[in-house]
Amino acid sequence: MSFTTRPELRGTFGAVSTTHWLASTVGMSILEKGHTAFDAAVAAGFVLQVVEPHLNGPAGEVPIIVTPAGADRPVVISGQGPSPSAATLEHFRDLGLDLIPGTGLLAACIPGAFGAWLTLLRDYGTAELEDVLAPAIFYAKTGHPLVPRIAGTIATMRPLFETHWPTSAEVYLPGGAAPEAGKLFRNPQIAALYQTIIDHSKSGASREARIDAALDFWYKGPVAEKIAHFCATEEVWDVSGRRHKGLITAQDMADYKPLVETPVSTTYGDHEVFKCGAWSQGPVLLQMLQILQGTDIADLDPMSPDFVHLVVEAAKLAMADRDSWYGDNGDVPMEALLSSAYADTRRGLISNTASMEVRPGSPDGRTPRLPPQRPVGTTAQPSLGGGEPTVAKVPALPNDKQGEPSLTPDGAQRGDTVQVSAVDRWGNMVSATPSGGWLQSSPVIPGLGFGLTTRGQMFWLEEGFASTLAPSKRPRTTLTPSMVYRGGKPYMAFGTPGGDQQDQWQLIMLLRHLHGGMNLQEAIDAPSFHTDHLPSSFWPREISLGAITLEARFPQAMRDELAAKGHKITVGDAWSEGRLSAVAREMDGDVQLVKAGANPRGMQGYAVAR
């Protein structure tokens, strides 16, 4: 075994791995109290909203893959809320927009995270609502040590908060100053809200009734009313350079319920890999596995240039299909996209040189249609927190003479989404990838303590695409948790933040684990990479043809060999690619063995197992 930043954790009782140590330890505390992995994931998820507010928030979204002990296959809880009923192409055309702004209120979808977490708790868990909300209330009320990236993000956003988003300044600039890294930071509004929800729901006659009462408070009561009022009355500055109102109404909130769905899957050797449907980018991982299954990928050194080249070229093909065919509609040719015959055709397009084309396929003989390609650097106005923080630079924002911000691409506050993976003593497993409601993307709603998700920026405003905007439709999200069965039994739950890179990083880790003999921690620690040869899912929707970003730990000779194949190489920081969290389970005779690994990048990820 090679040196790793921490051990692969092993035990027999249970394991929790997340992107923040406080969430992981809270999750384990729930397991210690006799509850399930599902309860642990819910508690961890609510803590992550408090301790990583630059990466997710209470009004964000979360897709969840749920595997009850002994289940033949998982189920998916879709916490990706749809667009408002008033979100029409005509509305955006009347505003003179050709892209949905990545900040402000126009991109707000119905916040699905609360509904999805409570659906998981009610239908699969055993804990009371108070049990899973108490840790988040504690950290929001008494404070949590602020990690440097949050402090940096707030400092960079300070001019915008002070100039245009005063409700955010009230929460994130206490006493008029940006908070310091390592010091305790509090969000008393969130603490008060969650306590009020608990108090409101206590009159329910049963555990399920208490959870349903909390759901009604959120989607049909005071929370929905505050969100609808803010959207109807506030004109909020966004990256278009103008002010806009939001579109979410109280009726939109009342109509929302998380969808419980069947996952899509593909067989890879003696493993079956499960993902969310085509309203996510999840099937991309399955398409890449299908393409690679007919190559010599299993025999390649997982640290070699040939391995990188093959993975990148497969990713280009799968991502082109994503942008041509995926969306929240009933006409996605998923069976054809995941078929062996289709993979054979796609695999034949891979050569020894880097492709510089975007090449979607023709499943079922259909003619593909690609969204616009906007080369990097051609967008007229630089972004301010416009997209997934992992792929967007957050520039400084000085005031100009008119009091409007003058945007300059100065500085880069990086972040991403968050991840929760858990397994318990009974063999229940869960993988969830929460995101949205970032502090830097939408202003705080008074009395709630958080802003809205801006996931709607992932819709296209041109007609005829699978992910074209329509009312009450889910955006084709990048959020994509994973579940793997081995020999027909649940084996592994994992995921990572990272926008368009999520399935790329998950694929690399999975291949290194299955073929390279790496344990979970070795596979997470190993130098990684990604390609940006795809239209970004986030404002301003740019593409970088032929681009590969490699961690600096890859040797120069390898970079040179990849460049010789035609790849356009960018060298990133030594520890910059991915924030994977993984747990696994196998049997040793009649005793369960659990395993866990966590990401060292960013010095926040943590796993707990015993």
Please write the tens of the pLDDT for every residue from 10-26: 999 999 999 999 999 99
pLDDT at site 371 = 87
pLDDT at site 389 = 43
Question: Side-chain half-sphere of 390: how many Cα atoms within 13 Å?
Answer: 26
- With a cut of 70, say whether residue 511 has pLDDT above it: yes
H or E segment and range at residue 315 = helix 305-325
- With a cut of 60, say whether residue 201 has pLDDT above it: yes
Summarised one tens digit per residue, pLDDT across range 321-365 is: 999 999 998 899 999 999 999 999 999 999 999 999 999 999 999
Task: State residue 490 phi and psi, 5-degree precision.
Answer: -55, 130
C-alpha span between 263 and 73 (Å, rounded)? 8
C-alpha span between 380 and 70 (Å, rounded)? 54
pLDDT at site 1 = 66
Kindly indicate the confidence band of residue 416, based on its pLDDT and cuts at 50, 70 and 90. low
Kindly indicate the confidence band of residue 374, based on its pLDDT and cuts at 50, 70 and 90. confident
Tell how far CA 296 is from the center of its chain: 31
CA 280, 283, 285, 287 torsion-angle sign: negative
Q: With contact defined as beta carbons under 8 Å apart, do 598 and 572 qualify?
A: no
- With a cut of 90, say whether residue 407 has pLDDT above it: no
pLDDT at site 376 = 86
pLDDT at site 387 = 46
- With a cut of 70, say whether residue 414 has pLDDT above it: no
- With a cut of 70, say whether residue 495 has pLDDT above it: yes
C-alpha span between 382 and 188 (Å, rounded)? 33
Summarised one tens digit per residue, pLDDT across range 54-93 is: 999 999 999 999 999 999 999 999 999 999 999 999 999 9
pLDDT at site 402 = 30
- With a cut of 70, say whether residue 383 has pLDDT above it: no
Which of 1, 21, 17 shows the shortest CA–CA distance to 9? 17
Could you give the percent of the chain with pLDDT greater than 70? 93
- What's the average model confidence in pLDDT over 169-196? 97
In angstroms, the Cα distances linking 144 to 440, 455, 492 are 19, 27, 31
pLDDT at site 442 = 96
Q: What does the angle CA 555 – CA 566 – CA 538 come to, to the nearest 5 degrees?
A: 90
pLDDT at site 512 = 97
Higher pLDDT, 411 or 178: 178
The pLDDT mean for the chain works out to: 93
- With a cut of 80, say whether residue 599 has pLDDT above it: yes
Summarised one tens digit per residue, pLDDT across range 107-130 is: 999 999 999 999 999 999 999 999
Higher pLDDT, 384 or 25: 25
Summarised one tens digit per residue, pLDDT across range 342-351 is: 999 999 999 9
